[in-house]
Each structure stands twice: as structure tokens, then as C-alpha cells.
């Protein structure tokens, strides 16, 4: 199975045996994105005062290549979530697995991939 990273950054993946794999972004391919719109906002009264809250609605996915036999695509989590509702037949999308953080809380990798 071929895996293509369609995110703008190197993905540092830790495998089940503890080894590390760096999956570099695919060159020459656009980065898939999701249009987002805001639904009607409402006011939230809190201990900090009144705060405007605007629900986000995921829209159209752009620059996502068509599904291809034998190829899995690593995309951002938001692209994958938007595809679950707008393209439920897409089974070729992956995203970073659970984050691995250093002692300061900075993400340094991920445990495998998620679907």
C-alpha cells in the first residue's frame, strides 16, 4: 500500500515496535482544505462576561485528489472529519494518530495513524 502525506509538514510516526518513521509531504500535490462557515452566533454569559459564540459548519473540501486503488492519503483531521459526512464512501483517508508530547507538552510525533 502506498501512503501519501498531503499535509504541509513532516509526520513523525512512532510504530508499535517503537521505531520512528518520518513521512514527508508529497511534492507537487496541493494540500486539501475545508471551507468553513459560521452559523448564527449566540451570546454566552460567563464568569468572564458575555462572549459571542459562533458554531462552525464544515463546508466543501477542495484539492482532495480522487480515490486511487492501493493509495492511502494522510490529510488533516478536519479534512478527514468533513469527508466522513460529505464523502462517506472514501476509505482512503488517514490522519495523525494520538499525539506524543515531550516534557514541555510540545507535540513531537504521533502513535501511528488514525482513520
Q: What is the pLDDT of residues 36-76, one digit of tens each?
A: 877 788 999 999 999 999 888 888 999 999 999 999 999 99
> How many CB atoms are closer than 10 A to CB 111?
14
Distances (CA, A) of 10 to 13, 27, 33: 9, 12, 17
pLDDT at 32: 98
Q: How far apart are CA 114 and CA 96, in angstroms?
A: 6
Residue 25 DSSP code: B
* Separation of CA 54 from chain center: 21
pTM: 0.84
Amino acid at each position: 500500500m502506498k501512503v501519501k502525506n498531503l499535509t504541509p509538514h513532516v509526520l513523525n510516526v512512532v510504530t508499535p515496535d517503537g521505531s520512528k518513521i518520518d513521512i514527508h509531504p508529497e511534492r507537487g500535490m496541493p494540500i486539501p482544505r475545508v471551507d468553513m462557515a459560521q452559523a448564527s452566533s449566540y451570546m454566552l454569559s460567563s464568569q468572564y462576561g458575555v462572549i459571542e459564540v459562533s458554531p462552525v459548519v464544515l463546508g466543501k473540501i477542495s484539492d482532495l485528489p480522487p480515490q486511487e486503488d492501493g493509495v492511502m492519503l494522510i490529510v488533516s483531521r478536519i479534512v478527514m472529519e468533513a469527508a466522513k459526512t460529505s464523502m462517506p464512501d472514501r476509505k482512503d483517508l488517514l490522519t495523525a494518530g494520538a499525539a506524543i508530547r515531550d516534557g514541555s507538552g510540545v507535540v513531537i510525533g504521533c502513535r501511528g495513524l488514525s482513520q
